[in-house]
Amino acid sequence: MRILTIICLLCFSLSSGAQHNNNPIANFNSDSYWQKTRLIHHLPAYAITNNDTPMVVISNRKLTDDSIRYMSESRCESGVLYFFVFTHNGIWNVLPVPSLEVAIQYMPDKNRDWVAYTEGMGKLFTTDLNRGLSLAAQYDVNVIMFDYPSITTTKKSLGNYFFAMGNAHKAYRYFLPAIGTIKDLQTAGKMGTGKLTLFYHSMGNHVARGIVKHHKLDAINDVVWVDNLVLNAPCVPRRGHKRWINQIKFAKRIYINYNNNDFTLGGAYLVSKKLQLGHRPIRNISHEANVNYINFNTLCGQGHSNFLTLTGVQVCKPRSRDLYSAQLHGNDVNVHDTTLFTQSHFKHIGWELKP
For 111-168, the pLDDT digits (tens) are: 999 999 999 999 999 999 999 999 999 999 999 999 999 999 999 889 999 999 999 9
Cα separation, 177 vs 56, in Å, equals: 15
Q: Which residue has the higher pLDDT, 225 or 26?
A: 225
Kindly state the DSSP code that residue 237 receives in the 8-state scheme: B
**pLDDT reading at 16 higher than 50:** no
CA distances from 285 to 33, 57, 162, 239, 324 (A): 43, 33, 27, 9, 22
pLDDT of residue 245: 98
Among 9, 40, 13, smallest CA distance to 24 is for 13
Residues 241-270 have a mean pLDDT of 96
Residue 161 main-chain phi, psi, to 5 deg: -60, -50
Determine the average pLDDT of the residues in 45-62: 97
Per-residue pLDDT of 286-317, as tens digits, reads 999 999 999 999 999 999 999 999 888 889 99
Read out DSSP for 83-109? EEEEEETTEEEEEEES-HHHHHHH-S-
Residue 305, number of CB atoms within 10 A of its CB = 24
**73-117 pLDDT tens trace:** 999 988 999 999 999 999 999 999 999 999 999 999 999 999 999
> 61-63 and 71-75: which strand pairing?
antiparallel
- Whole-number pLDDT of residue 25: 78
pLDDT-based confidence at residue 333 (cuts at 50, 70, 90): very high
1 pLDDT above the threshold of 70: no
Given this model, what pLDDT does residue 312 score? 80
Q: Kindly state the average pLDDT of the residues 15-24.
A: 44
What mean pLDDT is reported for the chain? 93
Taking residues 157-182, report their average pLDDT: 96
What is residue 2's predicted lDDT score, i.e. its pLDDT? Answer: 42
Asked if the model's pLDDT at residue 63 lies above 70, the reply is: yes
3 pLDDT higher than 50: no
Question: What length is written for the chain?
Answer: 355
- pTM for the model stands at 0.94
Question: What's the average model confidence in pLDDT over 318-345?
Answer: 97
d(CA 85, CA 135): 14
Q: How confident is the model over 201-221, as pLDDT tens digits? A: 999 999 999 999 999 999 999
C-alpha angle 132-297-352 in degrees, rounded to nearest 5: 95
